[in-house]
Amino acid sequence: MAKFLKRPLVSIPFLAALLIFSLHSLQLVDFRELDALDLRFRLRGQRPAHPKITLITIDDASLHAVGQWPWPRGNYAVLLDVLSQFKPRVIFFDILFTEASPSAEEDAKFHAAIQRAGRVILPFFYHSETPFKAIFPYELLRNSAAGMAYVNVLPDRDGHVRRMKAFVDAGEFVFYHPAVMAMLMQFQNREKADQWLSRLPLDSQHNLQINFPGSVNAFKKISFRDVIEAAGDENAGRLEELFSDAIIFIGHTATGTTDLVNTPYSTQMPGLAVQASALHTFLSGRMLYAIPQPFHFVIAFLTALAAAVVAAVFTPLISLLGLFLLMMIYVLWNFIAFFWAGWIFPFFMPLAAALFSYGGMLFEKYTRVLFEREMIDRELQMAARIQEHFLPQTPPDCAKLELAFECRFTKQVGGDLYDWTDLGDGRFGFCVGDVSGKGMPAAIYMAKSMSDFRGITKHAMQPEEVCQSLNQILLSGHAGGTFLTLAYLVVDFKKGKLRMASAGHEPMIFFKNKTKTAVVIKSNHGVPLGVFEEAAYDAVEVSFEKGDVFLLYSDGVKELRNTRGEEFGIENLRKALEGEASLGENAQAILQGVFRKMALHQQNGRAHDDQTLFCVRFV
């Protein structure tokens, strides 16, 4: 399990699906799955009900014509005699006849009419399954009917009716829903009836989803009054169309005389239309198949896994678009599965699992990046300390000069370098270099270059010879496009001269104490080191006296920009050195003064390259 949880691409969608599935199963959170089913019905639209179903409604007009409710049962006898002329398949009364009427004659008429009609089903209502307790029709009528069927509705937890119970096993007897009873009465033998019943997509409680064609208006219907008035006249042809070989449902639709229920298409649907919708489901062959509850978790996990893959593979913006596309594909597939195949898949629950999984994956990705970044920062801090100790920290032991230096990296490590060496016999070598690029690659190349440089200068060669040799060594390393610019000069106190060679580096700025002026000393600009094998380098010589100052620097100083994009430039650097050196301060004060001038120019701008200043004052 611990190994499994270390695989976030699997564990995060699994935990997201498990959480959502648990909340859904325990009904701790309502994911509106029932509303989603109603939405699918409404988007599909109302369809005509099966043509063999006809509703006879006892509506307000019928009550006005026949009289106040309850009616004498002889009226139903008249209706049955009219219907019998057209030989309907089945007649179902959605009206409870639980007691004898005040007139035994009326009951006798109805009883005789039921017997003459034959295939009549009467309703009853049960109020307990275990033990089975029900209110059955009046015994006289019950004995004359072809069968009885219960009219109980099966509301979901939101009060809407979307399902029916196909049958109730009462032990000694099995009772059926009116739609099931109507279907069973059409089979010629019990074996075929049982085969049909076994193929119904029932759940463990014998429940079946009703495929509603629409509201009550989806059915062919006629009022009780119109049936009686049309019998025997020229409109009888219409009655034959409605009732011949039909399954007829008779029930109330008049105001205040019927129990109205909520369905996907209507909030006030008469009970007989609900029973008729169940029969439409069977006759049309368009069964609905609700996915069993355990498979809800599988579907939630698969959608959560897909969302996790999208979050893991793509950038945040693209992954967000990918998540939206994934959810739209699932929604489209969900509706297609319902419209074309009748499959009812969970709707909002898998989408919620996908969102949770996507968010969890992004959080894991973010924390992992933060952790990796922290590890890199720690490594860079360690590298910076190593690089700091790799560069010389104390000036050379020479009473004839003052030395100040500072390197400011734009990142924790960089590619600028500086160094000095005592060449003996009153000679000192000084250098400033700049590796192309920034960060860790430049720092590694810088460390190699300094190591090679120190190995070469032990032989006390001239600056141009040092550049030549270092170029060959760096070329042999094949650094893949990385190169080094370098300014290297040798100070000879016996001759009072300094000799400098430049390998593509910035020119030196030299301050003459006698004239209090600073000038830019340009050597013959050689190409950077590590680029061309046949590169050649020249040197320039400058005399110096007490109080003179020279300044070496990297290109990050010259290219320092302010918020307007203006560079500091060599001229401003020359003026800064001239102004600070003219004050007669030591090398460290001069260096800090130049940095202050740079800061004034920069304002709130951001440095884009490493900045190194290397100042030597002759004392």
| Tokens encoding 374 | 């922290």
The Cα–Cα gap between 358 and 305 comes to 9
List pLDDT tens digits, range 209-249.
Answer: 999 999 999 999 999 999 888 876 666 678 888 999 999 99
Tokens of 602: 């920069």
d(CA 596, CA 412): 22
Answer for the pair 461, 510: CB distance below 8 angstroms, yes or no: no
Those residues of the chain that have pLDDT short of 50 are: 1-5
Q: Give the integer Cα–Cα distance in Å for 444 and 449.
A: 9
For residue range 72-126, what is the model confidence (pLDDT) as tens digits? 999 999 999 999 999 999 999 999 999 998 889 999 999 999 999 989 999 999 9
pTM (predicted TM-score): 0.66
40 sits in the region (left: phi over 0; alpha: psi -120 to 50; else beta) called alpha
Cβ-based burial of 489 (10 A; exposed 0-12, middle 13-18, buried ≥19):
buried
pLDDT of residue 6: 54
Rounded to an integer, what distance in angstroms lies between the CA atom of residue 316 and that of residue 312?
A: 9
Residue 389's pLDDT is what? 67
Q: Torsion angle, CA of 275/149/167/335, rounded to 10 degrees?
A: 0
What the block records as the tokens of 365 is 């990705």
Query: Please, which residues have CB within 8 angstroms of residue 136's CB and are 6 or more apart in sequence?
Result: 98, 124, 142, 148
Contact (CB, 8 A) for 497 and 544: yes
Q: How confident is the model at residue 407, as a pLDDT?
A: 86
Nearest to 557 by CA among 576, 580, 529, 539: 576
**Ordered alpha helix ranges (H), 45-177:** 60-66, 74-84, 104-117, 139-144
